[in-house]
Structure 1
């Protein structure tokens, strides 16, 4: 009996430690604090995990959700790359919920699409179940994550859950000659899209190009491109602007002095966060 009590006591301690490790409180100053849960599984695959940040301050308002999507050429990268930026966003938007997600990576044996779009859907469905209501979503991603944010919002959101897209150095038109100079373009052609997915008459490159799916109901989009980006050229933002203009979609496009990853450095990062704040405020007023 005593042995069983000891085992039970130890089990409770281990369980408490597990809960403590998985759920933490983060204080960001000025009465801003979030509950954090790390590596929540939103699917059966080990790469289908996400970090969740929910404001501690209670309110009766149904909170919007930022979904943060990392880059890495669709076949590498990790959510940890955007943890610091996510924390910076949380300081600016203390009343929003944040998801920083991993997704199933592409390889020579696994196509990126449609899996990575399905992953965004599964993550959004999980938070909807957790909250008990359907939140408005703001998709934000850099590079491949920017591409996935746009493609999901323009192509894979029939219920119109997406309030806005924040596209950071994401490829918008994969057929653009400027993007064809991307050193991994052969991988894009071979492994980005499962050939069984596009409908007859739609090429895989067109299917994977966000601009191909823009229409008048597409969500407002803020974009951010580097002036000397040799991975995703500035022409991608210009093409995107042109198609959004034709369809009368609310949008803003800003540029920063630097290369592909320089959006993340000061003062480019703070400039971007301020512009996101202004953009969302403007959307709310319309």
Structure 2
């Protein structure tokens, strides 16, 4: 017990120290060059943190694009900084982006702004790296939803290798999700009606499952058994549609609510499953 506590304290100290330096040392000869608050657009909200392995790049490094939650109108990339650093320990040969995006409000729609921001980050990244990387979109809650929606519908160039969806709503028409206390905001401010096709309702357009087909990106999903924000029914719906379209996927459940995915032992379980999932994709 004492050894475990000492390890946790040392790890937290390591992460806090890393956050203050332009080069991050994570032990075991793992280090990254860090650039914070890089602007990928003209809005003050369009900033991201970029982590590149501190070694000569091969031009084949894959990129994790990490997208925070917050109900589409709140949250910040800083909420996922520690998780990003723990992922970097497990994937030392990958590039990492932890991004902010333009938040929704009563006068600004979430989509297409937020999916456009993911695209803008990808465009910035291609220019910066001077090659076309394979992408792993990973987000929690609203960020999980945006990861799926972008990959399934907006990724025209098929840059997305995989989606890691953590407690993200996949079907906004699910009766279980309609009890979400901010659902009225979603109905009014999630989708700009100007982008809606005449034959597609806003709820369907905003639901990632609506866009799944046989070419959709492999997906790993992670949902809480007692989540009162995004119910477990979302996992069953997503799993069913992915299976119907023969999309390679895995889904897991953890004990806890909406925010408990990032707590021990749920977070370490998730990282283990992500690593195994990506290895399976590479072998296909």
For the residue of structure 2 that corresponds to 1:163, the secondary structure is strand
Quote the Cα distance in structure 1 between the aligned partners of 2:159 and 2:133. Answer: 7
SS state at 1:196 partner:
helix
Matched, 1:74 2:79: no
Alignment map for 1:158-197 (pairs within 5 Å):
158-197=156-195
TM-superposed CA distance for 1:57, in Å, is 2.1
Q: Relative to structure 2, which stretch is displaced further, 160-169 or 51-60?
A: 51-60
2:252 aligns with: 254
Tell me the residue number matched to 2:39. Answer: 41
**How far 1:32 moved relative to its partner?**
0.2
Matches for 1:111-260 after TM superposition, within 5 Å: 111-260=109-258
Distance 1:206 1:150 in 2: 14
Which segments of 5 or more consecutive residues in structure 1 lack a partner in the other structure?
1-20
**CA distance in structure 1 between the partners assigned to 2:29 and 2:21 by the alignment:** 19
Q: CA RMSD in A?
A: 1.1
Q: Distance in 2 between matches of 1:238 and 1:220?
A: 16
Residue 114 of structure 2 is aligned to residue 109 of structure 1:
no
Moved over 6 A (4+): none
2:28 is matched with which residue? Answer: 30
The question of whether the paired residues in 2 share the 8 Å contact of 1:22 and 1:37 is answered with: no
What does residue 86 of structure 1 align with?
Answer: 84
**How far does the alpha carbon of each residue in 1:224-280 deviate from its partner, in whole angstroms, 9 at most, with x for none?**
000000000000010000000000000000000000000000010000000000000
Structure label with greater radius of gyration = 1
Counting matched residue pairs gives 266
Distance of aligned partners of 1:22 and 1:159 in 2 relative to their CA distance in 1, 3 Å threshold? farther
Gaps of 5+ in 2: 1-18
* CA distance in structure 1 between the partners assigned to 2:191 and 2:87 by the alignment: 32
- Tell whether the 8 Å contact from 1:32 to 1:94 is kept in structure 2 after alignment: yes
Contact residue 167 and residue 223 of structure 2 kept, 8 A: yes
For 1:85, what is the secondary structure of its paired residue? helix
d(CA) in 2 for partners of 1:226, 1:273: 16
The Cα of 1:168 is off from its aligned counterpart by 0.1
In structure 2, what is the equivalent of residue 282 of structure 1? 280
Instruction: Please report how far the alpha carbon of residue 60 of structure 1 lies from its aligned counterpart in structure 2 after TM superposition.
Output: 2.4
> Take 2:55 and 2:127, find their aligned partners in 1: how far apart are those partners?
20
Distance 1:197-1:91 versus aligned 2 partners, 3 A rule: same
- 3-state SS, counterpart of residue 91 of structure 1: helix
In 2: Cα distance, 1:101 partner to 1:73 partner: 15
Superposition TM-score, scaled by structure 2 size: 0.92
Residue aligned with 1:113, SS: coil
